[in-house]
Amino acid sequence: MTKQILQVENTNNEDFKNEILNGVKSILTDFQKSTVKEDTLLTREETAKMLSISLVTLWKYTKNDVLPAFRIGSKVRYKKSDVILALQQMNQFD
């Protein structure tokens, strides 16, 4: 295993720190943009499968406002981000 040495010249500590912070912010912003896809709409079946529950239990969660649902005509849909958030809240230990 060989060591790699990075030598930085013509910069001060503050500029170097800001450059690193900007790089990290950029990576986090890109990651956040990639997670926006979680707002896709799921069917009742997809949601129940994702949570490993029955459709009856899903209906109870919706009725008791544990999981918000959206009605589009006669169809019921769930936002994937809402499902993940509800799952996280259900799994919190107080």
Q: pLDDT by residue (tens digit) across 40-93? A: 899 999 999 998 999 999 999 999 999 999 999 999 999 998 998 888 887 776
Q: What is the pTM (predicted TM-score) of this model?
A: 0.57
CA-based torsion, 13, 16, 20, 23: positive or negative: positive
60 Cβ contact list (under 8 Å, min separation 6): 66
CATH placement of domain 38-90:
1.10.1660.10
8 Cβ contact list (under 8 Å, min separation 6): 16
Tell me the C-alpha distance between 42 and 87, whole Å: 15
Break the chain into its structural domains and give their ranges.
38-90
Q: Work out the pLDDT band at 31, boundaries 50, 70, 90.
A: confident
Tracing tokens 């979680």 back to the chain, one arrives at 38
